[in-house]
Structure 1
Amino acid sequence: MPRSLTRTGVVILLAATLVAAAASVGLLLSRNTVVIADKELEVLAANAHTLASGLRYSDDTGEWHLDLPQVLASRFDPAYGRAFYAVRDGSGRAVLSSMDQMPGDVPIVLPNSTFEEPATFRLRRGGMVLRGLSIPVEIAGTPLIVQVADNVIHPDVVTDDLSADFLARVSWVILPVFVALAAVCFGTLHLCMRPIHLLSRRAAALSGANERLPEDETPDEIRPLVRAMNAALDRAERAFDAQRHFTAEAAHQMRTPLAVLKAHAELIQDRRTGALLDHDVTALERIVDQLLILAEIDTAEIAPSGTPVDLRALAEAAVEFLDPLAARQGVELVLDTPAEPVLVDGHEEPLYQAILNLLHNALGHSPAAGKVRVGVLAPGMVEVADQGPGVPLQQRELVFRRFWRSQGERATRRRGAGLGLAIVQRVADLHRGSIEVEDAPGGGALFRLRLPALAAAESAAA
């Protein structure tokens, strides 16, 4: 199934960005956890050293006493239930404790241990989760262990909550950034795809035989494709040229034998046989002439010339030329033209041939005593209507194909090769115009040739 390159690129970029963002958030969260843990350890160590500095030994009572600043004393208040401390001697016996729940089986670091760094611990006791630190100290020559701990599930201990909420908080920052990034990705890809869209429009607009897609103006990534397409067009043009030259040469070679054959037909004593032969030869001559016209206009590259061509004059000339033929068939040619010239931008000879072939087609389908109406309308239109059988809807595109003939024409052996309307179509295309067929009022077929009108200023000047 064809896919949109822009949509595919945006999806891939956004997916990659989302993965990168998730990885970044994970790293930030991990880093945030480490930073918070280090900060908590620093706070615990500071509290432990403050406790150690407040320890006093009384020789009179033989007991240890603790003097703490009011802020720290409030922090270790048993009623508060947030922080706890204990001071243990070398044997692990608690000589001072903020409450009885302080566990006695926490890791002990003795002064004479080879481990000289503070030791951390984490325990669950009495519905609390204690995270603490033990540090070895020496007070008045006595080795002691000072332990401090925080109840991490206490409402005032928010560091874990901060860690847990980190992703949610960061998401509010990442979300608009992600949306902005999506817009940037789409805009960037749309900008990158612009040359491809431009090439598509240029390819669709190719009409002349020598027109090609520009290679120098294309990005490096698609230049090989453009080069390959131009090469394919070159091959197709060479093949078409060979066919066109063969058609033209064959038509030229047939002209002389047909002229000789027509001369011999005039010498035949039997007038009826001679007339039939002359009629057939005339039909063959017309086919040859049409082949030559097609070969000529196929090689033509007609660009807007700015030269005014009067459709009214061309229609009058075509009617005058075919009027004797129409009279022999018993068909009346009716010409309806405006008083003023109808000027179009084009080339006279191809346009004359187009109108002439429209009239030939109408005469070929008109019954005896019928009428063929020829109308010229501003700004640039020629209409030819006959009173024949008309063109069925399903055949209205086929009639402009080369050598196409309906089954009825084949059955009645009506002379013609199916080239006249193909010539009209080709001339219309060369002039950036159009040809269409519909039902004529009262029956028959109505062919309408539309051509680009000359600009108003040019018409006035003409």
Structure 2
Amino acid sequence: MWRRSLSSRLILYWIVGSLLVFFSTPVTVQIPLAFFWGRDHSHAPEVWTTKRAREAVIDALRRAPDGTLYVEPTEALRKHKERNPDFRYAVFDPATGALLPGSSADLAENFKALMGNVEVFGSLFHLSNDANVRARGYIRTTVTPFGKLGTIVYGSNFHWDDVFYQLHAYLVTENLLAYLPLCALISIIGFSVVRGGLAPVRMAAGKIRQMDVDTLNQRIPDANLPSEILPFVEAVNDAFQRVHEGVARQRRFAANSAHELRTPIAILCARLDKMEDGPLKREMQRDASRIKTILEQLLVLAQIEERGDANGTPELDLPEAIRSTIADYMPIAFDNNRHIDYDAPDAKIIVRGYRWAVESVVTNLIENAARAEPNGGTIIVRVLTNATVEVVDHGPGIALADREMIFEPFWRKSDATRGTGLGLAIAKELMDKLGGRIWVEETPGGGATFKLAFPTNMSSMFRPFTQNHDSKRQKL
């Protein structure tokens, strides 16, 4: 919207301002200069009375019934002469030099040489025999309603209401056309100055647009910024610094808290192992495992954030890491009457990521699938050749409207839903840190299929274990 555009507003203000200056120049500049510094030379204030006097004479032109032109002493002309006792005027035919009735013959006598076969485009004059050194006159061939006529005016005094007349008289077509190039030049200069001056601001905006919670340590460059914008950029940089320090404190707190909780969780798991077998023990072990997984995810997330950008992460064999994760979870699945099918190609699939981060995310998805899978059912964990992992359950599934919300922190479908609502949120953040993606789809026949897509090193994918590249499926 143009009202919000600085360049548009500046151009508009410049045009309006220059318009006022341009068309008020006679009043704001020329008349004051003439009044204070022009009393003894040709630019006396009385110069600005000649146009008004000439217009009064032209308005007094009349045509007699016999076709003769003359100057009638109209009310306006009479009042003008009352205000200017020395005012005289004359009108003549520029072709023949014939003087129109009503004209001042003694004034015209001074211009006999210019009153026949001469077209005068305008000449300012002062009669040398006039004792009033400021008196000014003007002779010009003028287009009137009765054709071209020569006009001579002389002896008008300057009055302050002449200022308003000049303002009105200056607004003519010729001056408007003369102003258009100035207007265009102002617009071009205004646009160029604003656009060039704000170029560093646009660059700073592009820098800010790329920043997120992981790049708060970066700062907006303030080189070449206009001095008017510099305080704002410095304030933004200071705000980023405060936010960066606050986020760092929160991350340290979360990591330290998770680390401190590992010991009591380990003790709890050891005590549960000593309990007699039964449904209660299995429920408690599953809950303890869920808490342990969330803590491990928090620690993994803190380590990744501490190490920085995931571009420098090591490579790992994705099928082997998933197989190891499933093996660790199998005792819990078996105790809860669940089975796990593992489907992966024989070839290596090399991805970029920290092994403990990948294992943490997959463990969380398997635990969620185990809770959703019906008693005696089979969870399917599948690794595809495009570095995608699928964890499939056959439970109640996830409504389409909830498939984005489940990755929000503390989201639960209802208060009756078990869990804290943190596991999937942390899993998503971990995948984002690794440069990957997590999402959920519907399992054919019912259930939920969670999918993980990992960043790959294409040159090192599909390193074969053997010459056989067929996929293998294991029921664990």
| Residues 142-176 of structure 1 deviation map (CA, whole Å, 9 limit, x = unaligned) | xxxxxx9989655224999xx97983234334335
Deviations 1:263-302 (A, max 9, x none): 4444456866655555554444444434433443443423
Shifted more, 384-393 versus 278-287: the winner is: 278-287
- Label 1:314 to 1:264 Cα distance change in 2 as closer, same or farther (>3 A): closer
The 5-angstrom pairing of residues 365-384 of structure 1 reads 365-377=372-384, 379-384=386-391
C-alpha separation between the residues in 2 aligned to 1:74 and 1:231? 82
Match of 2:427 in 1: 424
Q: 1:364: how far off?
A: 2.3
Aligned partner of 1:296: which letter? Q
**Residue in structure 2 matching 1:212, options 211, 218, 235:** 218
CA distance 1:313–1:182, shift in 2 (3 Å): farther
**Closer, same or farther in 2 for the Cα pair 1:376/1:193, shift >3 Å?**
farther
* 1:156 is aligned to 2:156: no
Q: Deviations over 1:71-124 (max 9, x none)?
A: x9953136xx69977359xxx9xxxxx9xxxxxxxxxxx99x983669778xxx
> Any conservation in 1 of the 2:297–2:357 contact (CA below 8 Å)?
no
Change (3 A) 1:233 1:190: same
How far, CA to CA, are the matches of 1:234 and 1:375 in structure 2?
44
Alignment of 1:14-413 (within 5 A): 14-27=12-25, 74-77=95-98, 86=105, 115=131, 154-157=146-149, 167-207=172-212, 208=214, 211-217=217-223, 219=225, 220-268=227-275, 278-305=285-312, 307-338=314-345, 340-377=347-384, 379-407=386-414, 410-411=415-416
Greater relative CO, 1 or 2 (CA 8 Å, sep 6+): 2
CA distance in 2, matches of 1:448, 1:297: 21
Give the conservation status (yes or no) of the 8 Å contact 1:432–1:452.
yes
Which residue identity lines up with residue 174 of structure 2 in the other structure? R
Letter in 2 for 1:421: L
**SS of structure 1 residue aligned to 2:370:** helix
Aligned mates of 2:313, 2:95 — CA distance in 1: 100
Q: Distance in 2 between matches of 1:332 and 1:23?
A: 88
- Which amino acid in the other structure matches residue 370 of structure 1? G
Q: Give the drift of 1:249.
A: 3.5
* Equivalent residues, number: 377
Q: 2:282, 2:336 within 8 Å by CA — same for their partners in 1?
A: no
For the residues of structure 1 that align with 2:102 and 2:382, how far apart are their CA atoms? 106
The amino acid of 1:450's aligned partner reads A
Match of 1:8 in 2: 6
Return the alpha-carbon distance in structure 1 between the equivalents of residues 405 and 175 of structure 2: 66
Which residue number in structure 2 is paired with residue 450 of structure 1? Answer: 453
Deviations 1:355-382 (CA, angstroms, capped at 9, x unpaired): 3322322222222343433344454433
Alpha-carbon deviation of 1:304?
Answer: 1.0
Alpha carbon RMSD of aligned pairs, Å?
4.8
Contact 1:75-1:83 at 8 Å conserved across structures: no
SS at match of 1:411: coil
Q: Is contact 1:25-1:167 (8 Å) kept?
A: no
1:7 is displaced (CA, Å) by: 0.9
Bigger Rg over Cα: 1
Residue aligned with 1:75, SS: coil
Which residue does 1:438 correspond to in 2?
A: 441
Question: Does structure 1 conserve the Cα–Cα contact (< 8 Å) formed by 2:380 and 2:392?
Answer: yes
The whole-number CA distance in structure 2 between the counterparts of 1:188 and 1:263 is 73
- The AA in structure 1 aligned to 2:398 is V
2:151 and 2:394 map into 1 onto residues whose CA distance is 96
Q: Please tell me whether the aligned partners of residues 337 and 375 of structure 1 are also in contact (alpha carbons under 8 angstroms).
A: yes
Cα distance change of structure 1 residues 14 and 330 upon mapping to structure 2, 3 Å threshold = same
Q: 1:324 to 1:277 in 2, by over 3 A?
A: closer
Unaligned runs of 5+ in 2: 32-45, 55-92, 110-114, 116-126, 153-167, 465-476
- Give secondary structure in 2 for the equivalent of 1:214: coil
CA contact (8 A) 2:313 2:354 kept: no
| CA contact 1:77–1:83 (8 Å) conserved in 2 | no
Who is 2:164 aligned against? none
Counterpart CA distance in 1 for 2:319 and 2:181 is: 67
Q: Answer yes or no: is the 8 Å Cα contact 1:380–1:453 preserved in 2.
A: yes
User: Runs of 5+ in structure 1 lacking a partner?
Assistant: 42-71, 93-97, 99-109, 122-130, 133-147
Give the drift of 1:430: 1.2
In structure 2, the partner of 1:128 is: none
Normalised by the length of structure 2, the TM-score is 0.62
